[in-house]
Chain A
Amino acid sequence: MINEGKIRVWKDYQKEIADDRYFYVRSCIRQNFFPGAEKTFLRIMRDELRKDVFEDPRHTTCTGIAYHTDIVPLETIMTTVARQFSLMTENGYENIVPSCITSFGIYTEILELWEHHPEWEEKAKNYLFKSTGREFKKPKNLAHSSDVIFKYRNEIAHLAKHCLVNKETGQPIRVVEHIGCHYSRMFPQKGIGGAEYPFVLTGLAEAFGGEVIDYPERRACCGFGFRQYLVQANRGYSIACSKKKFESMAPYKPDMIITNCPGCPYFLDRWQYVISEMEGTTYGANGYGIPVLTFEELAGLMMGYNPWDIGLQMHQVSVEPLLDKIGIEYDSHDKYCDAEGIFMGKPEIPEILKFC
């Protein structure tokens, strides 16, 4: 009976994820800061798992950052999202997969709004038709790109060339995971593990052999806070939130952080640099930071892809200490080469944070 009860409760923390034929919508932040992560997602889905993932170049921002900085009304974002659905419908797809967590939260919220207040769906139809002449159908399935990777985590792990194990000690790599606020805070039933038992990244890390660390500020926000980062005068909020997390996780000596939301890896990476400059504090071993990877980058690394083809050179916190622990070979010169192999020069070296 106890087990039956547990299974019943756990069902609340799982979700249906489509098997194939995904309509992919990109993330504003990921495209700018981690474009290799999106490339890696598509490479794994298309080339390794042989799934149909379609992208229409006509799709745009969902305006999520504008909405959460309060500069556009609900009606605007709702209609822009309806336009993405229209492109999906026009291309014959029914399963939508956003790369962005803010978008995923927005799509979830809008579909819930339409479910409970059908008059708002009518409004969206009217606004979209009036402004663009477009019509749309709602997606049958909405999943974040990490949900899809989670669904196929065991297949990916089976194909992987590496595992998350320290090659010297044989012990699992110690992983901190961070799912991002808008993945499941508003609608916990739409996220794997909900907001309280985050499992979407944990399941992936464990499939590769890693060990996920539970620490006090595990569920705390990275500190984006939209206007709290985007306006220079407010950035103290953002860095304070990240610092709270670093201070909380550091005693557990994590080898790496993996993230779900496109913004979180950016903040958890860059604020480590700023804290080192401001206070002289570094959180990794030997003066380095704690490497911060997106879930796509982690999956790509495990698959044996060249770290510099998936974009790990775009991180301010060097990833080499992690690569060395796992035993992943890399070419230090190639890190700063272009696609033709021509060396572009190295970035400046930070004063405190050790950098490769």
Chain B
Amino acid sequence: MIKPDYFTQLKSDIRFNEGLHACINCGTCSAICPAAAFYNYDPKQIATQVQSRNEQVIENLLKSDTIWYCGECMSCKTRCPRGNTPGLIIMALRQLSIETGFFAESEKGRQILALKRVIGSNILNYGYCVHVEGISSEMHPEQGPIWKWIRKHAEKVYNRLGANYGKEGPGALRKISDSNLKELDQIFQVTGAYDRFDKIEKFSKKKATEMGYNTKIESMDPYFLMIYRHNSEKHYKQKA
């Protein structure tokens, strides 16, 4: 049996090397971290665990909800007296969790499929990470009545505000032409984004089948809706 080499794989990620020099476990990052205030999460512990180089400990992390609690605000970078960035360690751990398929073992990890399908298709179809046509009030009730009004009158509202909604030429919400979308497509091809997309779909499909879902590609199927909405409520700090 080949021994896992997760630590070596983490060390091959430049963000891991930039993010972890030698943590002195002072806890400054945990004090400033918004995720630590909300979730049962402690970035100091993440640094301690990966520094241990214990392969089993790292594998457990890769399969856990823990590495998906961070909001990547990078508050930890500003205050660490040693110049570490637990947020960058998290980004390297998440990448490895996707590569190994371990993301599918946790509730929060499984959500990566929803992000891939929503943000990924926005970029490839529109050239934007988010786009008004993909932001429904049903999926975003927090948008309030104003968003319903904006979407109902989208063309007129955007036109009044100087946008170039859905048309060729410069301006906000302009149509990104097919030739430019093709360049993005080629960049995704060459730089490994599509490989990552394929891994997310492949491991998600396997997990969906295990969980009794019949998942399709690129649609808001029941598995997608489950991972997008389900919250087991087990993620939070216990009140004293």
Q: Which A residues form the contact surface with B (CB < 8 A)?
A: 26, 28-32, 35-36, 38-39, 55-58, 60-61, 63-66, 68-76, 78-80, 83, 105, 113, 117, 120, 127-128, 130-132, 134, 181-182, 184-186, 188, 195-196, 220-221, 223-228, 230-237, 239-241, 244, 270-271, 273-274, 308-311, 313-316, 336-339, 344-350
- SS of A interface (majority): helix
- The complex places the Cα of A124 from the Cα of B161 at a distance, in Å, of 36
| A195 CB → nearest B CB, Å | 5
CB–CB A73/B196 < 8 A: yes
CB–CB B39/A230 < 8 A: no
Interface size range on B against A = 35 or more
A sample of 14 more A-B contacts (CB under 8 A), given A71-B196, A233-B227, A309-B161, is: A30-B172, A32-B131, A38-B172, A56-B170, A61-B123, A70-B91, A127-B191, A230-B118, A231-B114, A236-B231, A336-B149, A338-B159, A339-B156, A348-B145
Stretch touching chain A among B1-9, B49-57, B66-74, B205-213 = B66-74
Q: Which residues of B contact A230 (CB under 8 A)?
A: 115, 118-119
B73, B130, B131, B135 — most chain A CB neighbours (10 Å): B73
Query: B75 at the A/B interface (Cβ < 8 Å)?
Result: yes
CB–CB A228/B71 < 8 A: yes
| A244 CB → nearest B CB, Å | 8
| B30 CB → nearest A CB, Å | 15
Query: Can you spell out 30 A-B residue pairs with CB atoms less than 8 angstroms apart?
Result: A29-B130, A39-B162, A60-B128, A60-B176, A70-B94, A71-B115, A78-B191, A79-B187, A79-B191, A80-B187, A105-B74, A117-B14, A132-B183, A185-B77, A186-B77, A186-B85, A221-B34, A225-B35, A225-B72, A227-B112, A232-B229, A233-B228, A234-B111, A237-B34, A237-B39, A239-B142, A314-B161, A315-B146, A338-B156, A346-B149
With A35-B161, A339-B159 in contact, do A131 and B187 touch (Cβ < 8 Å)?
yes
Q: Which residues of A contact B168 (CB under 8 A)?
A: 57
Other-chain contact of B71, A226, A271, A349 (Cβ < 8 Å): A226
